[in-house]
Amino acid sequence: MVVDVAWGPGLAAVAAGSALVGNGDRTRRGLLAAGIGAWGLRLGSHLLDRVRSTDEEDERYAELTEGDSETRKVLKIFVGQGLAQWAVGLPVQVAAASGPVGPLGRVLVALGASGIAGGLVLESVADRQKSAFYERDPDERPEICRDGVWGWSRHPNYFGDACVWNGAYLVAAAASPGAWTFLSPAIMTYLLVWGSGAKPSEQRLKGREGYDAYRREVSFFVPLPPRERRA
């Protein structure tokens, strides 16, 4: 769906615009513009490829807007996403207008940058592994993907997203008043788990062959060694 494709690039635009017009700490502005920009453009490109490959409507949005008028659909999906982008991107906006950073702040910036980089890598790897899984012969591949990081987390892509945005919050929290934007990563994590992310995805997997075993053996969100392999 087009609204999904616009999610990442929209937040990348928020980061780039904030860096250009902000007068805060230059290092943090550049770091967030680069990190969120890379995250947003990669995600948008990945989702665009997926949208082009199918004519089917996304079940999540079909369920969310069932019985609604066209006006209500626009308000729920497009206006709702615009407000969510503003709320989620608030740490990036505040960071672009604040500073300087003290010794403790530099530690937070380093931790936040690590979270952004690690989350971006994890999400990229997870998406590539899932794409490769679906490229396999349908008659030979299993119903549930356990390849690579999908054998350690049932939703490594969403966890990677959470790392990126909690990392962005730590970068913002390095200088006042960035710490007060803590609701933004909380909203993003909520969306990734309960909104249109992990939980709704699991509802669609119920009943598939091997799904119950997958749930028992593989961590829901945070990547952990599979239970069957633990000592």
- Report the alpha-carbon distance of residue 90 to residue 15 in Å, rounded: 10
pLDDT 10s digits, 44-100: 998 888 777 666 655 655 565 566 677 776 666 777 778 889 999 999 999 999 989
Give this prediction's pTM.
0.88
- Report the alpha-carbon distance of residue 205 to residue 144 in Å, rounded: 9
CB 123 within 8 A of CB 156: yes
CB 94 within 8 A of CB 29: no
DSSP SS3 for 206: coil
What residue numbers bound the domain in which 178 lies?
A: 2-229
The number of distinct structural domains making up the chain is 1
pLDDT 10s digits, 197-221: 899 889 888 888 889 999 999 999 9
CB 11 within 8 A of CB 40: yes
